[in-house]
């Protein structure tokens, strides 16, 4: 089981006036994962610490996608109830996650600036950060059920304003299920497909059993696919600074949650490819939950961190976990 420090770290959770509620989130610092302490190796990753996040408010949870929106640890997440959940990740003196502060919850808006009208339209599953020369400028969000992709402006690291629709292939927009678009990620300048957006599905399967995917780009545009593990499906993706791709997978084995994190070489992310890669971590059991979101960012010391979050589905028996890892030198 994941070890817990005795101290609970409280942060005030501010919610938008539209939700008309206040609440408190407590962050339980996690000091163990898969037999490794902070700084210890677990398979092909270094565990850098984590948090279990708790709140009594019924609008906190269901976190399905994550991205860092500023160099000082500000982040934005999407909830499958149609909310943006934003805050700032604070680290302790050893560089382990300590708390999530300044949290805000605001409803995601449609293109007319109104809150999303019904549950079918609110199921946000993925979030990626659009970078410009002067830093993060917007977030790109993927939705399932009413399958679509949209951009949202950033103000002080917080997503805001009406949706700006992004054109995606007809075959994807017409896939109206909760196993359609699960992952959206943006290729960095170091990637051979720099600037392209990778769309990765959970349940749209090719004839040979791989997961359908698509690259949106000016010169790098077209279908590709991804080969997942036998018991897991892709649920999010993120690019490393060198252009390599990380794919997070999740599943259920018997009554336990399972997760895999796979690294794909940058050169293998291209139209027409069937992507497969190196397994960095694979596990089943109580140290995991419904792991759904992954992001890559650099800390203030310049270390590249991999951050994974879980979706508690607003159930009392599931947890909201935020885990951080780095890669061995």
pLDDT digits (tens, 9 = 90+) for 6-16: 334 444 444 43
Query: Within the chain, how many helices (H) and strands (E) appear?
Result: 2, 26
Q: What is the C-alpha radius of gyration for the chain, rounded to an integer number of angstroms? A: 18
24 or 4: which leads in pLDDT: 24
- Averaged pLDDT, 13-23: 42
Q: Is the pLDDT of residue 243 over 60?
A: yes
- Averaged pLDDT, 43-67: 94
Q: Is the pLDDT of residue 20 over 50?
A: no
Q: Give residue 23's pLDDT.
A: 54
**Secondary structure (H, E, C), 197-232:** EEEEEEEEECCCCCEEEEEECCCCCEEEEECCCCCC
Q: Give residue 24's pLDDT.
A: 73
Q: What are 301-322's pLDDT values in tens digits? A: 899 999 999 999 999 899 999 9
Cα separation, 184 vs 120, whole angstroms: 19
Q: Are strands 274-275 and 222-226 parallel, antiparallel or unpaired?
A: parallel
Q: What are 160-217's pLDDT values in tens digits? A: 999 999 999 999 999 999 899 999 999 999 999 999 999 999 999 999 999 999 999 9
Q: Give residue 279's pLDDT.
A: 98
Q: Residue 227: pLDDT band by 50, 70, 90 thresholds?
A: very high
Structure tokens at 5: 């420090």
Domain boundary assignment for the chain: 58-87+104-326
Cα separation, 13 vs 4, whole angstroms: 22
Question: What is the topology classification, in CATH, of domain 58-87+104-326?
Answer: Tachylectin-2; Chain A (2.115.10)
The CA distances from residue 284 to 48, 137, 255, 295, 321, in Å, are 20, 37, 10, 21, 15
Structure-token match 């293109």, residue found: 111
Cα separation, 23 vs 14, whole angstroms: 7
Structure-token match 């000016």, residue found: 218
pTM of the complete model: 0.93
Q: Give residue 141's pLDDT.
A: 98
Cβ count within 10 A of residue 267 = 12
Q: Give residue 1's pLDDT.
A: 41
Q: Is the pLDDT of residue 5 over 60?
A: no
238 - beta bridge partners?
A: 246
Cβ(308)–Cβ(288) under 8 Å? no
Q: Give residue 263's pLDDT.
A: 98
25 or 72: which leads in pLDDT: 72
- The mean of the pLDDT values for the chain is 91
Q: What are 108-165's pLDDT values in tens digits? A: 999 999 999 888 999 999 999 999 888 899 999 999 999 999 999 999 999 999 999 9
């Amino acid at each position: 089981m994941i070890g817990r420090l005795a101290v609970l770290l409280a942060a005030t959770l501010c919610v938008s006036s539209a939700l008309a509620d206040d609440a408190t989130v407590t962050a339980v610092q996690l000091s163990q994962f898969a037999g490794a302490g902070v700084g210890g190796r677990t398979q092909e990753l270094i565990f850098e610490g984590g948090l279990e996040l708790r709140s009594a408010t019924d609008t906190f949870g269901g976190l399905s996608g994550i991205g860092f929106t500023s160099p000082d640890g500000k982040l934005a997440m999407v909830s499958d109830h149609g909310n943006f959940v934003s805050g700032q990740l604070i680290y302790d003196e050893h560089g382990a996650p300590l708390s999530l502060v300044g949290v805000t919850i605001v409803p995601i808006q449609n293109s007319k600036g109104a809150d999303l009208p019904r549950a079918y339209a609110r199921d946000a599953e993925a979030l990626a950060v659009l970078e410009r020369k002067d830093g993060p400028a917007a977030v790109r969000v993927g939705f399932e059920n009413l399958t679509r992709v949209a951009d949202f402006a950033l103000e002080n690291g917080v997503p805001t304003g009406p949706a700006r629709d992004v054109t995606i292939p007809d075959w994807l927009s017409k896939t109206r299920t909760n196993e359609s678009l699960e992952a959206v990620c943006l290729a960095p300048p170091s990637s051979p497909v720099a600037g392209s957006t990778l769309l990765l599905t959970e349940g749209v399967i090719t004839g040979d059993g791989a997961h359908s995917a698509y690259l949106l780009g000016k010169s790098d545009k077209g279908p590709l696919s991804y080969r997942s593990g036998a018991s897991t499906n892709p649920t999010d993706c993120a690019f490393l600074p060198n252009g390599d791709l990380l794919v997070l997978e999740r599943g259920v084995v018997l009554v336990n949650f399972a997760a895999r994190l796979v690294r794909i070489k940058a050169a293998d992310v291209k139209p027409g490819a069937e992507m497969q890669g190196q397994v960095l971590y694979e596990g089943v059991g109580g140290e995991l939950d419904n792991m759904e979101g992954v992001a890559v960012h650099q800390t203030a010391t310049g270390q590249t961190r991999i951050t994974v979050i879980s979706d508690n589905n607003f159930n009392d028996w599931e947890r909201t976990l935020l885990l951080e890892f780095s890669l061995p030198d």
